[in-house]
Structure 1
Amino acid sequence: MKNDLLLKALSGKPVERPPVWMMRQAGRYLPQYMKLREKYGFFERCQTPELACEITLQPVDIIGVDAAILFSDILVVPQAMGLEVQLIESKGPFLPNPVKTASDLHRVCIPDVHEKLQYVFDAIQLIKKELNSRVPLIGFAGAPWTLLCYMVQGKGSKTFDEAKAFCYTQPRVAHQLLQMITDTTIAYLEAQVEAGADVIQVFDSWGGLLSPADFETISLQYIRQIVTALKDKVPVIVFAKGAWHSLDAMAETGAQALGIDWCITPQMARSLAGDKVTLQGNFDPAKLLSPIPVIKKEVEAMLAAFGGERYIANLGHGILPNIPVDHARAFVDTVKGWSNGRAQ
């Protein structure tokens, strides 16, 4: 690997500077991506290996990040499990026939991932070939709780109250579904690794909607199964947005890194997570709308707060579609100019 900063940071080895990449870095803020979006539907982009490869490589070539992340979507897993998933531009995901009762589980299956999701593995093989060992490739999946939210609610939500009610009023059915998602996700991620993914990230976008006790019961116990299955094969990053209260428990799963959002200080995150795990984050994506000199100053403050060891510079959530490309590049370049705890 020509640039192995990410792999070093994940294993706790010394690095000359923190590695940097951005969640949702392959996507809507890039004009090159928008041209492809005009020609191809969302799932067409995901399911065509050549398009997924081209989109995955765009931020590596244009922004200069230290890692590529597979262009795909967390909802390919519910799709493979038998639910119809639509992605409506400017509105988000829509599942017209969500799971509501035990009888609905008959419509959901644990699929043969090679039969249903081979296009993902083909894309990974193509991306690895085109990357030619320039930077590592991150594969990913959604956490079971986050996938259940969409599979039950049927669409995006700020509260996912229907999904929570499903877990509280039909716990047996909910845990059966969570286990089915977990088993599918493990097989899916293992196949991503076999295809060439160097690192895996598990996204629990809605983990922060749960209390600490519910997070353990409804989310973390299933994430733990995924990490256990994969951690001896590749480094695993767990990102549970808003679930900072459980960083200590997440650190004990065996994950090599924990992603954090901008609502917790680096000092508090480190005190909760301990010093045996790498932290990733936590720049507020909206701050990339600031003037470039302000971005540089804020990024330098973030880097100083985290320090240079066991740290991956990233955003605290996905990059917004209205971020100017030169602002995204300024974020990356500022991290690249950081060495031995100071800006160059």
Structure 2
Amino acid sequence: MATALDNNRFLRACLQQEVDQVPVWLMRQAGRYLPEYRATRARAGDFLTLCTTPELACEVTLQPIDRFPLDAAILFSDILTIPYVMGLGLSFQEGEGPVFANPLRSAADIARLSQPDPETELRFVMDALRLIRRELNGRVPLIGFAGSPWTLACYMIEGRGSRDFIHIKGLLYSDPATLHRLLAHLADAVSAYLNAQIAAGAQAVMLFDTWGGSLSTPAYQEFSLAYMTRIIAGLHRESEGRTVPVILFTKGGGNWLEAMADSGADVLGLDWSTELGMARQRLGQKVALQGNMDPIALYGSSAGVHQEALRILESHGPGAGHIFNLGHGITPQTPIENVSTLIDTVHHWGQAKQTV
């Protein structure tokens, strides 16, 4: 599968190597803000069919790459594929997001969970990755991803998204041993899943810890970061003669940068609440940084988008180790022309200033 890359600046930046310009990709870059995505989604009929049909997942993965000069593609999938194949009755409700018909509410529920085989139960993901790599043909690198054990457990126990996480936090403070059993089970599943993604062609992988920021500092370190560190330690980090970078993203994790940098990840993804320059001062060259424009800034004027992108670039400053991204996923009503403005701004700034 080894293919020479036409554009490898994303992988180089992940490893803090010199690049000609700051690379940029966007979380949820294949999404409802694109008319071509909406057309494919309508053809699929529902979101899960879109995720679990390799040809359709490949089609929407490539749509933003065909439209914009992005520096990386990211697999179109969902963080909940692992619990989906565990049989918890996942569905996506319009306006509500993911809902599990059979949430975990007891130690017995947790004990009954299966350990999915990535090349059987999750074969649709691996087939999509292989197809995307073939269709990309070296244009840009391909990123795979998974949800963190804590974030997966939040959905599996709450049954849906939550503001206060009553059920999982109740378990954390009343029966932590049972929660640890679930998190260890999920860590093993995520490790196997990401290693299978690397074998299928992912050239970088990302851990999405969407709900880690809901925890106290001691709880984050024990119930979220410890399991992500365990996963990273178990990844196969060399493939096709290259290092496979790992990106760790905890939304709301700005208080814990130093601990996150000790996880073994090559890159920390930051949301918009953490200033890049401050993060760089705190961490030095220990890791590369990814981020971190507020996605809602893309609803401003073209001039406003340009100025905010410049502010973020200047905050990080010149030098290797910055991947420009949003601080979370792009939203459905985002004006397409502002996405173009953002990407052009990042690339033009980088051409002038990226070498130290």
1:31-180 equivalence runs, <5 A:
31-40=35-44, 41-180=46-185
Equivalent residue in structure 1 for 2:257, among 223, 226, 247: 247
* Residue 321 (1) aligns with residue 332 (2): yes
* Residue 265 (1) aligns with residue 275 (2): yes
Contact 1:257–1:277 (CA under 8 A) maintained in structure 2:
yes
2:19 aligned counterpart, secondary structure: coil
Stretches of structure 1 lacking an aligned partner (at least 5 in a row): none
Identity percentage of aligned residues: 46
Equivalent residue in structure 1 for 2:208, among 169, 185, 203: 203
Moved more, 125-134 or 29-38: 29-38
Equivalent residue in structure 1 for 2:217, among 190, 208, 212: 212
2:234 aligned counterpart, secondary structure: helix
Deviation digits for residues 158-182 of structure 1 (CA, Å, limit 9, x no counterpart): 2223221122112111110001110
CA distance in 1, matches of 2:263, 2:53: 34
CA distance in 1, matches of 2:310, 2:182: 44
Moved more, 190-199 or 271-280: 271-280
CA distance in 2, matches of 1:76, 1:276: 32
2:120 aligned counterpart, secondary structure: helix
Contact 1:77–1:184 (CA under 8 A) maintained in structure 2:
yes
Contact 1:304–1:341 (CA under 8 A) maintained in structure 2:
no
Contact 1:152–1:166 (CA under 8 A) maintained in structure 2:
no
- How many residues are matched? 342
Q: Who is 2:18 aligned against?
A: 14
Stretches of structure 2 lacking an aligned partner (at least 5 in a row): 239-243
Moved more, 304-313 or 202-211: 304-313
Contact 1:97–1:154 (CA under 8 A) maintained in structure 2:
yes
Q: Who is 2:241 aligned against?
A: none
Contact 2:198–2:236 (CA under 8 A) maintained in structure 1:
no
Q: Who is 1:292 aligned against?
A: 302
Q: Who is 1:192 aligned against?
A: 197
CA RMSD of aligned residues (A): 1.2
Contact 1:105–1:177 (CA under 8 A) maintained in structure 2:
yes
Give the letter aligned to residue 170 of structure 2. A
Superposition TM-score, scaled by structure 2 size? 0.94
Q: Who is 1:235 aligned against?
A: 245
Contact 1:285–1:316 (CA under 8 A) maintained in structure 2:
yes
Change (3 A) 1:297 1:231: farther
Contact 1:231–1:254 (CA under 8 A) maintained in structure 2:
no
* Offset, 1:231: 6.2
Superposition TM-score, scaled by structure 1 size? 0.97
CA distance in 1, matches of 2:283, 2:327: 16
Deviation digits for residues 186-218 of structure 1 (CA, Å, limit 9, x no counterpart): 000000000000000000001110111110100
Deviation digits for residues 113-171 of structure 1 (CA, Å, limit 9, x no counterpart): 21110010000000000000000000000000000000000001122232211221121
Contact 1:230–1:236 (CA under 8 A) maintained in structure 2:
no
Equivalent residue in structure 2 for 1:335, among 346, 349, 355: 346
Give the letter aligned to residue 305 of structure 2. I
CA distance in 1, matches of 2:94, 2:341: 28
